[in-house]
Amino acid sequence: MIYLLLILFFASLVAIIIMIGRKLAVIEHEQILNHEEVLFEIPNLEKVKHFTIRNLKKYGHAGLVGTMRLYLKSKNFLRNKYEQIKIKINKISNETHVNGEKREISKFLKVIGDYKHKIREIQHKIKKEENL
C-alpha cells in the first residue's frame, strides 16, 4: 500500500516538473500568447459592497432573533423540567413520611445500621487507644 502511494507521489511530482519546464521553455523563447479568456464578468465593486452589507444586516438580524428565541425557549424548557423534577423529588420524600411521621424501616436494615454503628464505635476506640 505504501509503495503505491510513493509511486503516485513521485509520478505527480514528475508531471508538475514537466508542466513547469514547458512554461519556462515558452517564456525563454518569448512565445507568450496574450490569449486569456474571461470566464465571468466582474460586477461593480460598489454594488457588491452594498449588496453584501444589506444581506449581512438582514441575515444578522434574523440570526440574532433566532438565537434569542432559542435561548428563551431552552431556558423555559429547562426551568419547567427543573420544576417537574423538584416536584417528583418532593413526592418521593413525602412517601417516606406518612402523615408527618417516618415510615417504618425494615428490621434487616435496622440490624445492618446498628452493626455499622457499633463497628464505627469500635474503630474509634481502637484509634484512641493507639494514639495514647
pLDDT digits (tens, 9 = 90+) for 8-34: 999 999 999 999 988 888 777 776 555
Q: What is the pLDDT of residue 99?
A: 58
Q: Alpha-carbon distance 91 to 85, whole Å?
A: 10
The reported pTM is 0.38
Q: Alpha-carbon distance 48 to 56, whole Å?
A: 12
Sign of CA dihedral 43, 44, 47, 49: positive
Geometric angle at alpha carbon 28, from 23 and 32, rounded to 5° = 60
What is the tens place of the pLDDT at every residue in 63-121? 999 999 999 999 999 999 999 999 998 888 776 665 556 666 788 888 999 999 999 99
Q: What is the pLDDT of residue 44?
A: 82
Q: Alpha-carbon distance 79 to 86, whole Å?
A: 10
Predicted confidence (pLDDT) at residue 36 exceeds the cutoff of 80: no
Predicted confidence (pLDDT) at residue 48 exceeds the cutoff of 90: no
- Tell me which amino acid residue 56 is: L
Q: 3-28 b/e with 16+ CB inside 10 Å = b?
A: eeeeeeeeeeeeeeeeeeeeeeeeee
Predicted confidence (pLDDT) at residue 49 exceeds the cutoff of 60: yes
Q: What is the pLDDT of residue 73?
A: 95
